[in-house]
Amino acid sequence: MRSRGLVWVVLLVLLVSAAAPAGAAEGDKIVRTKTGLDGLRVVNSLCRLLGCTVLLGIDTPPGQTAGGALFLVRGLVDSVLTTLLSLLGLAAVEPDVPVSLLQAPYEGDQASAAVVNQLGRRDPKLYYGATAWEGYLDQPAAHIVGVRDAHCTFGLTGAGTVAVIDTGVDLGHPTLAPSLVPGYDFTRNVTGGGETGVGQASAAVVNGAHRVNGSTIAVVDQASAAVVNDPSRAGLGHGTMVAGVVHLVAPTAQIMPLRAFGEDGTGYTSDILRAIYYAVNNNAKVINMSFSRSTPSPELRKAIEFAASKKVVSVASAGNDGRAITVYPASLDTVMGIGSTTNEDRRTWFSNFGEEVFAAAPGAGVITTYPGNTFAGAWGTSFSAPMVAGAAALLLDLQPVAAPDKVRLATSNAQRLILQRLGYGRLDLSSAILAGRSLWPNAPFQSPVDTCYSVGVDWTDAQ
């Protein structure tokens, strides 16, 4: 009887598939197989039956599908069919939803004028084995969160690997290159994780600042400005800028570039999932996610919970809608969702706020690295989140195997902000480190370094 019942289910599935209109087969699906089954065999058998295609494994190393339970499938029909598919070995199916990077509109004002002046401070300085512009090192955001004290008073400069899931990173940028570890480009399925089109974006530097995209002022020449003003390249530089903020706070932490977004600033949930599993399986200790989607994803939640179970800290941007709304992954329980503040410790006009924001960090006119060996000013919660990711890397100096909930607890010791609705308040590195010492009393004491190449002190001019 069971065999006859299964035959009827299979026939019904085939009838539903045959009757479906052509449009119902469009769009990729994220498919999870039931626990204890051979996932690849299940999805291959299913697609032989229904005519769909298994594109890749999501929770396995790139190029590998065997041994996994999560797959990207093309041509699988929704609605009634997916319910019936549960009888054929599938646990869940969800659409592969597009996701956008978080960029805040740029508006010229006194703050942006100050950024232009800051970008003019281009004297190259040594910074923990790399060179960087003075304007990047000695900027208001770094002073506000206490980068100097973290490095020079507490002797913490970062440990472990921070995975940056974004548009990739300029692998040749002199400030970042010494800190980079091998990454991956999930948009093209190649190793590296570098940003594409870097040479076109900013090949030459001139005395001026030009608007590049909705969230960025970068020092580029006029011809390059025309290139990056193209909407199809609106995301260019985003990952390099995010990585530069991590490096500013935690200069001796390693950075793993994971490219899940194209130059236009859009990506897919499946590539984000692949990047999370890749980061965990390749020993990243912190994951920065400067993007959001407005709808929940069960698989995104599962991936981040998997990361937490492996003692990986997750940080995400809270969004730039200027509202108290829910976005993902920032609102998930095991993620620190980060809002944005001005240099005067007020919520920036674009930052989301409310109960689901964990804390905040400066996000208006942050000076950071930009493709083409240059630097830029950046606006958005995209650039507040990596300050907290850098803070997590500093705490790993105290406890290399710190549990994510302990890192969250230490980071929650922030500068309280009245009536701003930004969770625990603005990031305060000294308070977080002192809290970390209380949480991990057996951690070895870090002595201040003899020569501190940090914000505002003892720089050596690069030769």
pLDDT at 231 over 80: no
**What is the rounded distance in angstroms from the CA atom of residue 460 to the CA atom of residue 273?**
42
Report, as an integer, the average pLDDT of 100-113. 63
Q: Do 183 and 274 sit in the same domain of this protein?
A: yes
Q: What is the pTM of this model?
A: 0.88
Percent of the chain with pLDDT over 70: 78
69 and 91 assigned to the same domain: yes
Give the Cα-Cα-Cα angle 26, 54, 43 (nearest 5 degrees): 110
pLDDT, averaged across the chain:
83
Tell me if 373 is assigned to some domain: yes
More confidently predicted of 125 and 112:
125
Residues 214 and 243 in one domain: yes
Q: Is the pLDDT of residue 250 over 60?
A: yes
Count CB neighbours of 419 within 10 A.
Answer: 7
Whole-number Cα distances in Å, 295 to 59, 65, 103, 214, 330: 21, 27, 18, 23, 12
Q: How confident is the model at residue 402 (pLDDT cuts 50, 70, 90)?
A: very high
How far is 109 from 114, CA to CA, in rounded Å? 9
Predicted confidence band at 100 (pLDDT cuts at 50, 70, 90)? confident
Per-residue pLDDT, averaged over 81-99, amounts to: 81
User: How far does the chain reach from its first CA to its final CA, in angstroms?
Assistant: 82
Q: Tell me which of 201 and 132 has the higher pLDDT.
A: 132
Q: Is residue 454 part of a domain?
A: no
Instruction: Give the pair of three-digit tokens for residue 256.
Output: 């793993």
Q: Are residues 225 and 138 in the same domain?
A: yes
pLDDT in the model for residue 4: 38
Residues 70 and 114 grouped into a single domain: no
What confidence tens digit (pLDDT) does each residue in 129-163 have?
Answer: 899 999 999 999 999 999 999 998 999 999 999 99
Residue whose token pair is 């720089």: 459
The CA distance from 154 to 397, in Å, is 10
Predicted confidence (pLDDT) at residue 241 exceeds the cutoff of 50: yes
Considering only residues 42 and 228, tell me which one the structure prediction assigns the higher pLDDT: 42
User: What percent of the chain lies above the pLDDT cut of 90?
Assistant: 63
Q: Are residues 183 and 36 in the same domain?
A: no
- Tell whether 135 and 270 lie within a shared domain: yes
Whether 453 maps to a domain, the answer reads: no
Domain co-membership, 212 together with 84: no
Task: Identify the domain containing residue 237 by its residue range.
Answer: 101-439
pLDDT at site 19: 31
* Same domain membership, residue 121 and residue 91: no
Q: Which residue has the higher pLDDT, 451 or 200?
A: 451
179: in domain: yes
Number of domains in the chain: 2
pLDDT, tens digit (0-9, with 9 covering 90-100), for 6-62: 332 222 222 223 333 322 224 899 999 998 889 999 999 989 888 889 999 999 999
CATH code for the domain in which residue 37 is found: 3.30.70
Looking at residue 120, its pLDDT comes to: 83
